């Protein structure tokens, strides 16, 4: 897919204030600092489009972008940041749960996982949750530039084994790096395939 135009639309905490759901929507989620906003900027080839930060918890709102006037891309706040209070965690859960349940044009959720780690309970629990909601999702293993391909492959294989304990069928799995641009063509081709099917 060629990205002709990607524009910020609106940020908010309320699904009722999100843009009219008249186009397919793709959301990016994962632990804080996993690289969601960086990946969005890499996919859209616009450095400052989604706000990034080296300290976790940068993205706090539901951020909508419109791509090629054809589909929405959504940058969601991350989960699992230890320093967040229980109150904020509950707020996050409520907001995200409501978004997943009510956003009728939600087409696919990309769950981002740091490729440097062995399976983490937080990520497995999140996949379990989203899978049980019946929302179509795919997994993207991020930051592959940070280690050898052998290490990445071993971690992904371990995730596959963990997921097979619960799920008969595994979701589509991608790898990405916002610095080397690995994964860009594959992820955009996947979105295009869904949009045109």
Q: What does the binding site for ligand GTP look like in residue numbers (CB under 6 A)?
A: 32-38, 52-54, 56-59, 77-78, 142-143, 145-146, 177-179
Q: Are 60 and 27 in contact (CB under 8 A)?
A: no
Number of helical H runs and strand E runs in the chain: 5, 7
**Which string of x and - marks every residue 52-71 that binds Mg ion (by CB under 5 A)?**
------xx------------
What would the two tokens of residue 188 be?
């955009």
177 binds, among Mg ion, ligand GTP, none (CB under 5 to 8 A by kind): ligand GTP
Q: Which two tokens stand for residue 1?
A: 């897919």
Asked if 123 contacts 113 with a C-beta cutoff of 8 angstroms, the reply is: yes
| 142 binding Mg ion? (CB under 5 A) | no
- Three-state SS at 153: helix
Angstrom distance (rounded) from CA 188 to CA 181: 12
Q: Which residue is nearest to Mg ion (CB)?
A: 59
> Does residue 155 belong to the site contacting Mg ion (CB under 5 A)?
no
Q: How far is the CB of 113 from ligand GTP (least distance, A)?
A: 11
Whole-angstrom CA distances from 154 to 116, 131, 146 are 10, 24, 14
Q: Which of ligand GTP, Mg ion, none does residue 145 bind to, with CB < 5 to 8 Å depending on kind?
A: ligand GTP
Q: Does 32 bind Mg ion (CB under 5 A)?
A: no
Q: Which does 171 bind (CB under 5 to 8 A by kind): Mg ion, ligand GTP, none?
A: none
Residue number, 18 or 34, with CB nearest to ligand GTP: 34
Alpha carbons within 13 A on the beta-carbon side of 110: 30
Q: What is the closest distance, in whole angstroms, from the C-beta atom of residue 108 to Mg ion in the complex?
A: 19
Q: Which residues sit at the interface with Mg ion, rule CB under 5 A? A: 36-37, 58-59
């Amino acid at each position: 897919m060629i990205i002709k135009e990607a524009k910020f639309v609106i940020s908010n905490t309320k699904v009722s204030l999100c843009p009219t759901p008249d186009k397919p929507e793709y959301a990016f989620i994962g632990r804080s600092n996993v690289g969601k906003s960086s990946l969005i900027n890499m996919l859209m080839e616009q450095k400052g489009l989604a706000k990034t930060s080296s300290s976790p918890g940068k993205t706090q709102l539901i951020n909508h972008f419109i791509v090629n006037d054809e589909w929405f891309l959504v940058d969601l706040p991350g989960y699992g940041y230890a320093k967040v209070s229980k109150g904020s965690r509950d707020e996050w859960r409520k907001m995200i749960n409501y978004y997943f349940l009510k956003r009728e044009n939600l087409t696919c959720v990309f769950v981002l996982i740091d490729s440097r780690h062995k399976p983490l309970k937080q990520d497995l629990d999140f996949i379990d949750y989203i899978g049980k909601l019946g929302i179509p999702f795919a997994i993207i293993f991020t930051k592959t530039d940070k280690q050898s391909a052998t290490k990445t492959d071993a971690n992904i294989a371990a995730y596959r084994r963990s997921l097979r304990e619960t799920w008969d069928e595994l979701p589509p799995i991608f790898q990405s790096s916002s610095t080397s641009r690995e994964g860009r063509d594959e992820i955009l081709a996947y979105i295009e395939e869904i949009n045109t099917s």
